[in-house]
Structure 1
């Protein structure tokens, strides 16, 4: 069985549902709930020893504000909502430094200096992705509608981060564990 993890930040429930509803116009099977990627797969090993390190970073990191912004592209094949938050960059850096993935993994997953916080709306079909891909025209249509239907782009407070685990049978990432930031009470346990 393949174990794969990544760490994300979830928008407020109401906006999360709005984005999911929006995405389902183009894609029936969503590979993961809408999220801002905080830490990609590199260094997040099946033994899960890295979870303690992430928890230690989060215990000392205060809740912070994030603002979503206009749609942008990685290349011309991944459409995303841009994200503004200096603290998000700081938290990303602290987690990556604590986990210490190899330089090759940092480069592969665009971390540290190459980190661009984003919330993916859609991707062009690449034959590999666990979520269904779109055509270039569908991405352009999605971009136009996102400007109209997903505005106003929200600002929200981040009180916790979420670890996702690949569910190979369902071909999607499921919620595994929520970790609160400093001074935030979260009544959540592992979702096994």
Structure 2
């Protein structure tokens, strides 16, 4: 069983993204997880769940953060995402990674610390779309997913893998009010 920690966009924008993703019949990403921005990937988040107390301690003393969603971009030509930015997000990411202390190999495998790129994945070739469909989707996203929102993040969400490659909400951990 695996876990990861993410940030969920406001419900209205999350619904807008899901409806956008559903326009492509072969896009299976909705079967994997809801739209989110990964804050801490799977590396080091073990089944014993001892790491949860560390995350709660960090979040309890970390104030809410301001996050903005931006234009679509690509990782290579196989992953389409909406870019995201926040002055505070990198610091929170770093604090959580350092507290959990995954190996350097896991940090590199999951693109953490200096390789961390905040983003919200729209689609991947791995989840059913062709590279050509991803390019068309990117063009449509520029029109259909604007205006891109900015919002306050008051909690982080822990996701748990229920079945192979299907993640669901496990718990929300509030940030300092």
Residue segments in structure 1 that go unaligned for 5+ positions in a row: 126-131, 184-192
Q: After superposition, what is the alpha-carbon deviation per residue over 1:133-187, rounded to whole angstroms, capped at 9, x for unaligned?
A: 2101110111011000000000000000000001117x4100000000012xxxx
Question: TM-score by structure 2 length?
Answer: 0.96
Give the structure 2 partner of residue 124 of structure 1. Answer: 125
Higher fraction of helix: 2
How do 1:1-192 and structure 2 match up within 5 A?
3-26=1-24, 27=27, 30=30, 31-125=32-126, 132-168=127-163, 171-183=165-177
Provide the rounded CA distance (Å) in 1 between the counterparts of 2:68 and 2:43.
26
Q: Flag as ranges the 4+ runs of structure 1 deviating above 4 A.
A: none
Provide the rounded CA distance (Å) in 1 between the counterparts of 2:134 and 2:144.
15
Provide the rounded CA distance (Å) in 2 between the counterparts of 1:65 and 1:137.
34
Provide closer, same or farther for how the CA distance between residues 29 and 136 of structure 1 changes in structure 2, counting only shifts above 3 A. Answer: closer
Provide closer, same or farther for how the CA distance between residues 83 and 138 of structure 1 changes in structure 2, counting only shifts above 3 A. Answer: same
The alpha carbon displacement at 1:64 in A equals 1.1
What is the alpha-carbon root mean square deviation over aligned residues? 1.0
Provide the rounded CA distance (Å) in 2 between the counterparts of 1:160 and 1:29.
23
Provide the rounded CA distance (Å) in 1 between the counterparts of 2:166 and 2:15.
17
Q: After superposition, what is the alpha-carbon deviation per residue over 1:89-138, rounded to whole angstroms, capped at 9, x for unaligned?
A: 1100000000000111001100000000000000013xxxxxx3210111
Give the structure 2 partner of residue 189 of structure 1. Answer: none
Q: 3-state SS of the aligned residue for 2:38?
A: strand
Residue segments in structure 2 that go unaligned for 5+ positions in a row: none
Q: 3-state SS of the aligned residue for 1:179?
A: strand
Provide the rounded CA distance (Å) in 1 between the counterparts of 2:128 and 2:161.
18
Question: TM-score by structure 1 length?
Answer: 0.88
